């Protein structure tokens, strides 16, 4: 039986951007995050901007700290949908509870207006 190597490489850019957005939304600096996860600020910058892969432990600390769902990045075929929906999902991760409530009310108003139009 021949075993082949899996040559796939994971592109960390999108998750790095989600971490950056969530960090900025929380008001935290790269230096503060670096201190919390015991890494250099430059390492955080590389993770966020250059798509450099963090260690598994650092990755886990960051995504759980900012409550970022990683399914859409690890299982993209399960999240088949429009590109717009994917971008919106990624942006939702960076919003705080107040902003999410505003967005929810906006969507509800849009749906109510649509129902009124169709009636």
Question: Average pLDDT of the chain?
Answer: 88
* Separation in Å, CA 1 to CA 4, 5, 18, 67, 69: 10, 13, 41, 42, 37
Who wins on pLDDT, 87 or 23?
A: 23
Report how many domains make up the chain.
1
Residue 101: its pLDDT value, please?
Answer: 94
- Is the pLDDT at 76 greater than 70? The verdict is no
Percent of the chain, pLDDT > 90?
55
Decide if 2 is inside a domain.
no
Who wins on pLDDT, 55 or 94?
A: 55
Q: What is the mean pLDDT of residues 37-60?
A: 94
Decide if 28 is inside a domain.
yes
Q: What is the mean pLDDT of residues 41-62?
A: 94
> CATH number, domain at 109?
1.10.260.40
Contact yes or no for 54/68 (Cβ under 8 A):
no
pTM of the model: 0.61
Which domain covers residue 90, as residue numbers?
Answer: 13-118
Instruction: Give the tens place of pLDDT for each residue, 80-106.
Output: 666 787 778 778 877 889 999 999 999
Decide if 20 is inside a domain.
yes
Cα 75 vs. chain centroid, distance in angstroms? 14
Q: Rounded distance, CA 43 to CA 40, Å?
A: 5
Decide if 110 is inside a domain.
yes
Decide if 71 is inside a domain.
yes
Decide if 8 is inside a domain.
no
- Is the pLDDT at 38 greater than 90? The verdict is yes
Contact yes or no for 30/41 (Cβ under 8 A):
yes
């Amino acid at each position: 039986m021949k075993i082949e190597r899996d040559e796939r490489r994971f592109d960390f850019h999108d998750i790095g951007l989600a971490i950056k957005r969530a960090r900025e939304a929380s008001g935290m600096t790269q230096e503060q995050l670096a201190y919390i996860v015991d890494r250099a600020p430059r390492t955080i910058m590389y993770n966020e901007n250059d798509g450099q892969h963090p260690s598994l432990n650092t990755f886990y600390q960051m995504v759980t700290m900012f409550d970022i769902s990683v399914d859409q990045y690890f299982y993209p075929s399960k999240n088949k949908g429009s590109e717009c929906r994917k971008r919106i999902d990624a942006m939702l991760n960076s919003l705080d509870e107040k902003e999410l409530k505003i967005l929810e009310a906006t969507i509800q108003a849009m749906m109510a207006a649509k129902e009124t139009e169709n009636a």
